[in-house]
Amino acid sequence: MLLDQGHHVVGVDNMNDYYDVSLKQHRVDQLANDRFTFRAMDIEDEPDVESLMDSAPFDAVLNLAARAGVRYSMENPRVYMTTNLMGTLNLLESMRRRSIGKLVLASTSSLYAGQPMPFDETLSVNTPISSYAASKKAAEMLAHSHHHLYDVDVSVCRYFTVYGPAGRPDMCVFRFIHWIDQGEPIELFGDGTQSRDFTYVDDIARGTIAAIKPVGFEVFNLGGGNEPVSLLAIIEKLETLLGKKAKLTHRTFHKADITTTQANIAKAQKQLGWQPTVGLDEGLAACVDWYQSNKPWSAAIRLP
Ligand SMILES: Cc1cn([C@H]2C[C@H](O)[C@@H](COP(=O)(O)OP(=O)(O)O[C@H]3O[C@H](C)C(=O)[C@H](O)[C@H]3O)O2)c(=O)[nH]c1=O
């Protein structure tokens, strides 16, 4: 979207193998453009971040680089802190040294666990239930202190369960499509009544770009803003789209999982002029279309 608007963009990804690297490469390949440069590097590596920041006169940094799996953060909490917190520190420090004035920081609705819905940005989110959420909260706080000390302008975007074509294969929508299509049992944590305010990736991209505008320091919920939809309802919709019945294997509800999410998006609507436009049925259909039209490669993507 930034390229379509005529901007020059440098994209960074460390291409780690937490999930199938061919999917990451597929996404990079879609961005072929004279104004796009890709750098395979890690924001944890301070000298590399410094050299990156010297490579062009940046107006803004959008930090979407993260360890983002909720359940895997119980297995390997250390990488969540090194990437999500120390990586953010490297970016903030290199921005400070060069007076790059704008940071958009991707954060998460996972922070709202235990709070009353719909989740409002003013709720206190000091009791995270996963190392992932804790690392994102830590990054938000670090960004705040850099805003206070060095005047960097910060928009924190709390994303609500983002899905879309070429989506993450550690998340439910991608996996459920794969399993239903392949006739394999869906691994379902809990009874499937847990629910999410699913948000389509293009809406998230538009909201993230809208958040580049100067705001001081603000937190914005970027969520569908709809009634939360249960996993069982998602499975039913995917069965219809794929024309196949799902088989289920039940697993214990995961301790790091939030039961339900619903965004209050009034603030993003008002201050960013942002409104999600892609409904769940349309969004899921786009995911299934992408999966079908990229076969056999898409069906062979390794699930973590
Ligand atoms: C992958 C998978 C998930 N589930 C269940 C577990 C959860 O109760 C629910 C949604 O899990 P998922 O990982 O798709 O999404 P969230 O737990 O909402 O987390 C996601 O949205 C937030 C905002 C982020 O910030 C995370 O980066 C992102 O991973 O489906 C299953 O039952 N089976 C599965 O194979």
Q: What is the CATH number of the domain that holds 135?
A: 3.40.50.720
Atom in ligand 1 nearest the alpha carbon of residue 188: 32
* Contact residues for 145 (Cβ-Cβ < 8 A; gap 6+): none
pTM of the predicted model, to two decimals? 0.98
Model confidence at 206, in pLDDT bands (50, 70, 90)? Answer: very high
Q: Which domain holds residue 132?
A: 9-300
How many whole angstroms separate alpha carbon 68 and alpha carbon 130? 11
Atom in ligand 1 nearest the alpha carbon of residue 171: 14
User: Does ligand 1 come within 6 angstroms of the Cβ of 73?
Assistant: no
The two tokens of residue 268 are 């993003």
How many whole angstroms separate alpha carbon 296 and alpha carbon 281? 24
pLDDT tens for residues 158-195? Answer: 999 999 999 999 999 999 999 999 999 999 999 999 99
- pLDDT at position 237: 98
User: Does ligand 1 come within 6 angstroms of the Cβ of 241?
Assistant: no
- The answer to whether position 287 is within a domain reads yes
pLDDT exceeds 90 at position 269: yes
Model confidence at 48, in pLDDT bands (50, 70, 90)? Answer: very high
Average pLDDT over the chain reads 97
- The answer to whether position 160 is within a domain reads yes
Total count of domains within the chain:
1
- The answer to whether position 4 is within a domain reads no
- pLDDT at position 253: 95
User: Does ligand 1 come within 6 angstroms of the Cβ of 161?
Assistant: yes
The partner residues of 159 in beta bridges, in order of sequence, read 108, 222
Protein residue whose Cα sits closest to atom 29 of ligand 1: 69
Q: Ligand 1 mean position to 171 CA, how many Å?
A: 5
- The answer to whether position 1 is within a domain reads no
User: Does ligand 1 come within 6 angstroms of the Cβ of 231?
Assistant: yes
Q: Ligand 1 mean position to 49 CA, how many Å?
A: 30
Geometric angle at alpha carbon 77, from 75 and 79, rounded to 5°: 115
Sequence-ordered alpha helix ranges (H) in 164-264: 172-182, 201-210, 231-242
Model confidence at 55, in pLDDT bands (50, 70, 90)? Answer: very high
Q: Ligand 1 mean position to 132 CA, how many Å?
A: 12
Contact between 52 and 39 under an 8 Å Cβ cutoff? The reply is yes
pLDDT exceeds 90 at position 225: no
Strands (E), the chain: 9-13, 36-40, 60-63, 102-108, 153-159, 162-163, 185-189, 195-196, 199-200, 217-222, 229-230, 247-251
132 classed as catalytic: yes
User: Does ligand 1 come within 6 angstroms of the Cβ of 90?
Assistant: no
* Contact residues for 80 (Cβ-Cβ < 8 A; gap 6+): 67, 73, 131, 132, 134, 135
> What is the mean pLDDT of the segment spanning 57-86?
97
What proportion of the chain, given as a percentage, has pLDDT over 90?
A: 99
User: Does ligand 1 come within 6 angstroms of the Cβ of 184?
Assistant: no
pLDDT exceeds 90 at position 87: yes
- The answer to whether position 3 is within a domain reads no
* Contact residues for 165 (Cβ-Cβ < 8 A; gap 6+): 201, 286, 287, 289, 290, 291
How many whole angstroms separate alpha carbon 137 and alpha carbon 289? 35
Q: Ligand 1 mean position to 258 CA, how many Å?
A: 9
Model confidence at 204, in pLDDT bands (50, 70, 90)? Answer: very high
- The answer to whether position 288 is within a domain reads yes
Atom in ligand 1 nearest the alpha carbon of residue 107: 25
Backbone φ, ψ for residue 260 (5° rounding):
-155, 150
- The answer to whether position 2 is within a domain reads no
- The answer to whether position 28 is within a domain reads yes
